[in-house]
Structure 1
Amino acid sequence: MSTVLALATVPVLMAAGLLALMKVPTHLQLTVTDTALIIEPQGLDRWWTRRERIEVPLTTVSSIRIVPRSETPALGGRHGGLHLDGIITAGVFGGTFWDVRRGDQLLMIRCHPGSEFTTLVLQFANPFATLTRTRTVVAHKGSRSTSV
């Protein structure tokens, strides 16, 4: 009986561990160059989003702003990623790239029609600072690159 109990607890412990890991904040690197926004998921975010790098040409960016979760696009068809309602949305869903945990203030990047993604929804520890730095570089399309 104790072997059965021990075997039954293994999946429960694994699920609890996975949920605990999902509470860890997103780990993204956003770099802005003269020509592109480069988003690089780090650590487990690479696994959950199934992406190592996304390059968005600046010419395809139509807007960058902070929005509450309630203003983000609805999840469309699944192309690859992980979604557990209210816990994590990571990957590509209906043309939108997501890397979000439980945050409410999210950085939303809209792209022009015909781009690889229609929208990117990203969570950062300080989304307002990320927005300010990103908009500044995008507006100037400076000759240097900066990471945020």
Structure 2
Amino acid sequence: MSSVLVLAAVPIVLAAGLLALMKVPTNIQLTVTETALVIEPQGLDSWWTWRDRIEVPVAAVASIRIGPRTEAPPLPHRRGGLNIDGIITAGPHGNTFWDVRRGDQLLIIKCLPGAEFETLVLQFANPFATLTRTRTVLAHQPQRA
């Protein structure tokens, strides 16, 4: 009888563990090179988003700003990524790439037509510092002068 209880508890424990892992903050590295913004989901984020790396050419960046979730593009009815309302939105959803947990102050990167994604919606522990650092580096790029 005790083995039946253990087997019955396994899915519950796995589901609880999965939900706990989804509450872990995003783990994204954003680097600005001479030619591109490089977004690299780290650890579990590469699994949630189904991507290890996204490169957005500097010339394709239209704008970068902080905005609430309500200003991000709506999720399409036919979704391509992971979405559990209010817990995690990750991966490509139509022409938008997401890596967001419960946060509301999000880094929203709009791209010019022809880029892999129209918009990237990313959550950072300190989005204002990330925005300032990214804009500072982009301002010093020869292509943006």
- TM-score greater than 0.5 by the shorter chain: yes
Name the CA distance, whole Å, in 2 between partners of 1:4 and 1:102.
36
Match of 1:56 in 2: 56
Q: How far is the alpha carbon of 1:2 from its aligned partner? A: 3.0
Q: How far is the alpha carbon of 1:140 from its aligned partner? A: 1.7
Name the CA distance, whole Å, in 1 between partners of 2:12 and 2:70.
32
Q: Which amino acid aligns with 2:75?
A: L
8 Å CA contact 1:33, 1:142 repeated in 2: no
Name the CA distance, whole Å, in 1 between partners of 2:114 and 2:24.
34
Higher relative contact order (CA 8 A, sep 6+): 1
**Which TM-score applies when normalising by structure 1?**
0.91
Unmatched runs of 5 consecutive residues or more in structure 2: none
1:18-66 alpha-carbon deviations (Å, 9 max, x no partner): 0001111000000001111000000000111110100000111100000
8 Å CA contact 1:22, 1:88 repeated in 2: yes
SS of corresponding position for 1:46: helix
Q: How far is the alpha carbon of 1:142 from its aligned partner? A: 5.9
Identity of aligned residues (%): 73
CA RMSD after TM alignment: 1.4
SS of corresponding position for 2:75: coil
Runs of 4+, deviation exceeding 6 Å:
none
SS of corresponding position for 1:66: strand
Match of 1:134 in 2: 134
Name the CA distance, whole Å, in 1 between partners of 2:43 and 2:115.
26
Query: Is the strand fraction higher in 1 or 2?
Result: 1
Name the CA distance, whole Å, in 1 between partners of 2:59 and 2:29.
20
Name the CA distance, whole Å, in 1 between partners of 2:101 and 2:60.
26
Q: How far is the alpha carbon of 1:82 from its aligned partner? A: 1.4
Q: How far is the alpha carbon of 1:4 from its aligned partner? A: 2.6
**Which TM-score applies when normalising by structure 2?**
0.93
| Equivalent residues, number | 142
Name the CA distance, whole Å, in 2 between partners of 1:95 and 1:13.
35
Match of 2:42 in 1: 42
Unmatched runs of 5 consecutive residues or more in structure 1: 144-148
8 Å CA contact 1:31, 1:37 repeated in 2: yes
8 Å CA contact 1:37, 1:56 repeated in 2: yes
